[in-house]
Structure 1
Amino acid sequence: MEETLASKLANESLTWESWAAEWCYWIQCQVPRCRDCDVHLTRAQQTARRRIDALANARENIQKAQAVTAQYMEAR
């Protein structure tokens, strides 16, 4: 795998569905579809949603920090 799943997710080159499918293949099963894939995909989708939410929160926090820094610099 050239890019890691985390870097793909961070670069937003994967949706949570495709991330979940890749997670099931690369991390859990090592086969394209196993008999437990639906369970794995459900877990992976939940994990991916949490990670996407965390990335969105991090971006929001960065933007807030940049705004506060800009206000501080203007006030100086």
Structure 2
Amino acid sequence: MEVNVKLFGDFREGRFEEKATQLEENSRVIDIINKHNLPEERVAICMVNNRQAEFEQVLQDQDTVAFSPPVGGM
């Protein structure tokens, strides 16, 4: 199956901004984190199809998954 992965903040450094990613059926959010070597402990925001998601959520073909690290404020 194919999902669209979006990275924000410093997760983009040395990686990509947005990318179609091939996964096996019944893959979970954590599988994307591992596949793209994102530091799990730094994932502050995880969204699937614009809704908050857990790392164990099972993905569907054509889902959009977004990851953001913690963002500093003023």
* Same fold at TM > 0.5: no
Q: Which has more helix, going by share of residues?
A: 1
Structure with larger Rg: 1
Q: What TM-score does the superposition give when structure 1 sets the normalisation length?
A: 0.24
Q: Which has more strand, going by share of residues?
A: 2
Q: What TM-score does the superposition give when structure 2 sets the normalisation length?
A: 0.24
Higher relative contact order (CA 8 A, sep 6+): 2
